[in-house]
Structure 1
Amino acid sequence: MSRRKEILLNAKRLFNENGYSDVGVRELARLLEISPGNLSYHFSKKEDILIALLEDFSRQNTTFYEDYNQSPPSLSGFLTLMKNIFQNQYDYRGVFIGNPFVQNELLRQERFPYPKIVEKRRDTFRQIFSALEEMGYLKFSSDDVEFLVSFTTLFGRFWISEATLFHRSPDKDEVVNHYVALFARQLSLFATKKGKDSIEAFFE
């Protein structure tokens, strides 16, 4: 493992355990048994580590969407996609939860083009839901599809904050499965008989 990857892996772990604001560069350097100067050779500021983790998180999510597109559309496949994304969010929870630095970086848009990523994801969800309707899994109006897109992005953005409200590190499988089930319940309101069967197949 390269030193850079080692730094990011340990930074992510410390952020998950203690929160981004409560982890300093010196603490991370001590964990890695290197000097702060050695660490700064790879990342000059803690904010640079944050940006690198955000980029890693986004790249991993992109691979999940690419994997989904390799198979014919189905609600079971879509729920698998969302479960993978939720698991990824859990793994990077310390980067997002209660972190004003992330919000500032996203608002500045200088190094991480968050609005463009959000709009790209919304377009992707529109395409996914339209394809699921064409394949007979969902039935909805034009207004409904925009609701589903907004609900999916909202749910996907904030479920992790609620899940970790009282415990920073709840059981990963238990909490992810719980929120995937809630998400599936909402989808089922728009599902056809074929769609509901596909949802049931996902949980079997």
Structure 2
Amino acid sequence: MNEDKKNEILEISRQLFNEQGYNNVSMRNIADALNISVGNLTYHYKKKEDLVEAVILEQNKSFSIQKTPTTLIELNEFFIQGIQHQKDNSYYYRHYDQLAKLSPKVYQIQVSNINKRREALQNCITTLQKNGYIVEEEIPGQMNGIIEVLNLIKIYWNPSSDLFGGVDIMTCFWSIIYPILTEKGKIVYREELQE
């Protein structure tokens, strides 16, 4: 397949999945948006599951976890960049569990990316503890538990859902982090991050 045509199919598909949700987009919708026949589209991608897998595999080529945050300011930026990624790929997060079941390759990408994010957050917390911004664990596994909650929020946050009561995602992230900040960390938060 011509590389330009492949990129066009994948980009139009990603846009439609983002706008309408994976479940609401058909191969006919994608073909119509591309001004090609469904037969032409299915020549390249037999079914929608193949197409969404290709979209995710292509996107993952350029995806990277931001560098490990070493300050509270960088941690805030880490959160902001993660939220932007979620907005840019909303279909992926809205259908996270479903997409994992559709394709073993997509599932492996999800596991790999979560592990990278987990490692970055673990290294961040360790550095912030060494520099006196985050307290030491009060119960075994506390920091790992906090990291898992942060990851779950990142994956499943849906601002349009009534489940989240209209709470801003950044407020949610910092509501989890703030109680484990030292007084030094709280001063930085209040002076440089609190709006």
Q: TM-score range by the shorter chain?
A: 0.7 to 0.9
- Count residues with an aligned counterpart: 186
**Letter of the structure 1 residue corresponding to residue 57 of structure 2:** E
**1:131 corresponds to which residue?**
127
Q: Match for residue 158 of structure 1?
A: 156
Q: Does residue 85 of structure 2 align to residue 81 of structure 1?
A: no
TM-superposed CA distance for 1:193, in Å, is 3.1
Q: How does 1:48-59 map to 2 (within 5 A)?
A: 48-59=50-61
Task: Work out whether residues 126 and 146 of structure 1, in 8 Å CA contact, stay in contact via their aligned partners in 2.
Answer: yes
Aligned residue in 1 for 2:104:
109
Amino acid in the other structure paired with 2:148? S
Q: Gapped runs of 5+ residues in structure 2?
A: none
Could you list the per-position Cα deviations for residues 170-202 of structure 1 after superposition, in whole angstroms to 9, with x for gaps in the alignment?
A: xxxxx8x92112211221111123323443423
Q: Per chain length, whose mean CA-contact separation is higher, i.e. which structure has more relative contact order (CA < 8 Å, sep 6+)?
A: 1
1:13 to 15, 39, 42: 15
Q: Percent identity at matched positions?
A: 24
Q: CA RMSD in A?
A: 2.8
Q: Distance in 1 between matches of 2:61 and 2:146?
A: 24
* Contact in 1 for aligned 2:14/2:55 (Cα 8 Å): yes
From the superposition, tell whether residues 37 and 202 of structure 1 become closer, same or farther in structure 2 (CA, over 3 Å). farther
| Alpha-carbon distance between aligned partners in 2 of 1:83 and 1:151, rounded to the nearest angstrom | 17
SS at match of 2:145: helix
**Residue in structure 1 matching 2:88, options 88, 91, 103:** 91
- Normalised to the residue count of structure 1, the TM-score between the two structures is 0.76
TM-aligned CA deviation for residue 117 of structure 1: 3.6
Q: TM-score, normalised by structure 2?
A: 0.79
8 A Cα contact 2:57 2:106, kept in partner: no
Letter in 2 for 1:32: L
